Each structure stands twice: as structure tokens, then as C-alpha cells.
Amino acid sequence: MLREIVLDTETTGTDAKGGDRLIEIGCVELINHIQTGATFHRYVNPTRPVSQGAFAVHGLSDAFLADKPVFADIVDAFRAFCGDARLVIHNAPFDVGFLNAEFARLGAAAPPAIELDAVVDTLQMARRKHPGAANNLDALCARYGIDTSRRTKHGALLDAQILAEVYIELLGGKQASLGLGTVSSAQMAAASAPVVVAPREFRARLTAEEGARHAAFVATLGDGAIWRHYVGEDGASSPTS
């Protein structure tokens, strides 16, 4: 069983090393590349103001965040949800940088830092698959026909759910099967291809009397009659060219 956690964050700004903080974490669980419905979502009080640039992106104000728990109060629940699952993140250095900065602030109680080489970075996947193209989340959603009508502002949980769909497309567009496995696009195409059925022998359902009358009628048509090539005297089909 492959368990992965698709993760997104929102922050007070863009500079984790300069003191910007996490204000929202959203996670979506995948088992064998299928969303299970299990999620983790928390808002976090950053204990510092949100920059105007960041507020314009996510709309999370200082007043809204004032009564939310600080990171130290939610870190155990966050780590318990993630467990030892592989993380899937778009532009992983950004989010991992903020998470590790928050861990470092916990001092001796801090969990181990997240190693970037253990994270699946969907931005890097997209750049390899679509070199030279725009590969932000909005562009990828447009490319793959993923609905973003609910996304009027950035939000960590919604973005993680959307990213989970993008991730599956980047892997090759696998879809869930009824058996909770995965079926590739090629397999789906093969399954939907027309089925060619070999011709079956046809045997006329005639009584002996009907067969005799039919044979007498065919005899009047001469040797060139096409029926002689289809129905023999015993009512069985003959090979056709």
C-alpha cells in the first residue's frame, strides 16, 4: 500500500528565513494515488502581522487569525496525520522551508526536519513533462481540465485537493477502478475499444417440411443463386467469401 500526503500551506509572506510564519496547513491523504477523503486542516496564529501582499493572495487577516492556535499546539496532530507517508507538494522548497522553520522554533521538542529529497515536488514533475510552459497550479488545472471555480482565493486545503488531482494527471491520468486499484489511461482506452466478435455459424430453424419447400424453390433459381452459397440442403450455413 502506498500512502501519500498532498500538502499545501499559506503564510504571512514569502521569506521563511526572514521571520514570515505559517498561518494555514491543508493535507489530503492518498492511498495508491486515490483520495481517501481523509484530510487535515488547521489555521495557525503566526503571532506577527500578515503582509499586504500575502493577504491579497489568501485573504486571511490578522483579526481572523488572532484566536487560532499557535503552531506548537497543532504540530503533534499534524505529524500524527502525516505519519511516515511521503509528502507531495507543489514547489516543495517553499512549503518545506516554512515547516522546517516552524519545527526549529520548537527547540528540543522539534520533530526531525523534512528532507527535500524525500518529497515529491509536483512543480519539478510538471517542468519535466511540460518544459517551457507555465506550470503554476492554475496553469496545470487549465491544461488538464480540472475545475477551479471554487478557488476565488488561495486556501491550503482546497489547493491540496486540487493539487491531488493535478498530481494524478502528472503521473499519467490514472483513474480509480471499482476495485480501489488504479487503471491507466491506456488500459481505459483498451477497455472502451469496440469488441470484435468472430462470425458464428448460422443454422436455419426450419421444419423438415419447410426445408423441403425451400429446397424446391431454390432449385428453380439455377446454379447462380446466391442462396445456394448461404443455406445448404440441410439448412446449415455454407462459407461465404
Whether the Cβ atoms of residue 163 and residue 88 lie closer than 8 Å to each other: yes
Residues 197 and 26: their CA atoms lie apart, in Å, by 51
- Over its C-alpha atoms, the chain yields an Rg (Å, rounded) of 32
Residues 58, 154, 214, 229: which is the catalytic one?
154
What number of helices (H) and strands (E) belong to the chain?
A: 9, 7
Closest CA to 88 of 143, 14, 16, 159: 159
DSSP conformation class of 197: P
Residue 7's CB is within 10 A of a number of other CB atoms, namely: 27
Known active-site residue 154: yes
Sheet holding 3-11, edge to edge: 34-43, 22-31, 3-11, 86-89, 120-121
Catalytic residues: 154
